[in-house]
Structure 1
């Protein structure tokens, strides 16, 4: 499948916020993920304070994996 979006790229940040909500916020229908007319960013920022620390660690580790790949690629490119 497609890679998990990064949290450090502005052009895919909306995708990142949406996917993190889908993966970590309990929901049964799409309306559980965000309020009508609310942006994915605002919904994600509203969710973060109530998000369990274990989930935050997983999100951080997903980003860390991207950064490690960048470092590996930079190393082999030079």
Structure 2
């Protein structure tokens, strides 16, 4: 299957933000994830500012997984 996008790649950052919101922000309908007209990255920044440390740590660990794979491949 597809992997989770990286936060350090500008070309997929919006997709990364959408994935993180889908995984970690409680929601029942799509409009719970972001306001009408709001970009995914804007909604994600608001969410990040209010989320628990544990959730932020999980998101960071997902990125570290990518970085470790990069180091291994160098």
1:10-59, CA deviations, whole angstroms, 9 ceiling, x for partnerless residues? 00000000000000000000000000000001000111111111110010
Structure 2 residue runs of 5 or longer lacking an equivalent are: none
TM-score (normalised: structure 2) = 0.98
Equivalenced residue count is: 74
Secondary structure at 2:36 match in 1: coil
Q: Which has the larger radius of gyration?
A: 1
Query: Which whole-Å CA distance do the structure 2 matches of 1:24 and 1:64 have between them?
Result: 17
Structure 1 residue runs of 5 or longer lacking an equivalent are: none
Query: Which whole-Å CA distance do the structure 2 matches of 1:69 and 1:29 have between them?
Result: 35
TM-score (normalised: structure 1) = 0.93
In structure 2, the partner of 1:32 is 32
Query: For the aligned residues, what is the CA RMSD?
Result: 0.5
* Shift >6 Å, 4+ stretches: none
